[in-house]
Amino acid sequence: MTATSKVYGDYVVFVESKALRGRSKQEYLRQVRKLGMRHPERSLKQISERMVFDHLIHLRDKEKLGPSTLNQAVVALRMFYRDYLERDWQLWEQFEIRRDQPLPMVLTRDEVHQLKGAGRENRFKAVLALIYHCGLRVGEAVRLRPKDIDSKRGMLRVIDGKGGRKPRGAGGPADDRAPARLLVFSSQCALALPWCRPRLERALDAPCRLPWRLPPSR
């Protein structure tokens, strides 16, 4: 298989027609090319169900891909063979991915205070407090705008979340001062959010080495 083969070229058009994110499209195409490179003597149409199964076993056992990356490969090859070539193989039901369920990391009160106080400027402290109290990812926080903050209800409208998920609501601190506190956050974050992502880590004190993904406050 070559990247210029007609089958692959038609599949590129097929993938482009789907409502997928750019990175997802690139990964789907890369996984199909990777399979083709393992069988250069055959076209993609000539690769059998057993060959695809062995390829996935190789990715899992030899390349030691993690569950999420391995699932991307399965989804990519399933789209090509099932959705595009209309081959509804039993493979898609038989191949299993073991997913470990690690315990979540919960910060102590002292660690929370250390993280929230690590910013040198109030605007960065506001961003860290907002991330913690509302359980936001960094990417979700930096895309917030003042118009996304409902100060009356003490709620945020989080848009363009991980995986292109639909907008969701995020609550603030569970106390009577939540609306006012979020309103203060909004005035501070309006200055910091549009450009803080590349500078946020530099704004933290060097000794602070706490994880970015924080649990929401209770």
Domain boundaries for CATH 1.10.443.10 within the chain: 109-200
Nearest CA to 120 among 212, 214, 217, 196? Answer: 196
Superfamily for domain range 6-94? Tyrosine recombinase, N-terminal domain (1.10.150.130)
One-letter amino acid at 61 equals: D
Measured between alpha carbons, how far is 59 from 70 in angstroms, rounded to an integer?
7
The torsion region of residue 164 among left (phi > 0), alpha (psi -120 to 50) and beta comes to: left
- Average pLDDT per consecutive 10 residues, the chain (218 residues; last block may be shorter): 75 92 90 94 93 95 91 94 94 85 75 78 77 78 77 72 53 44 45 43 38 39
State the CB neighbour count (10 A cutoff) for residue 179.
16
pLDDT of residue 120: 76
pTM as predicted: 0.53
Domain boundaries for CATH 1.10.150.130 within the chain: 6-94
pLDDT of residue 108: 83
Question: How far from each other are the two terminal CA atoms of the chain, in whole angstroms?
Answer: 54
pLDDT of residue 170: 55
DSSP 11-57: HHHHHHTS---HHHHHHHHHHHHHHHHH-TTS-GGG--HHHHHHHHH
List beta partners, residue 157.
169
CATH: 1.10.260.40, 1.10.10.10, 1.10.443.10, 3.40.50.300. Which one for 109-200?
A: 1.10.443.10
pLDDT of residue 33: 94
pLDDT of residue 165: 52
pLDDT of residue 77: 96
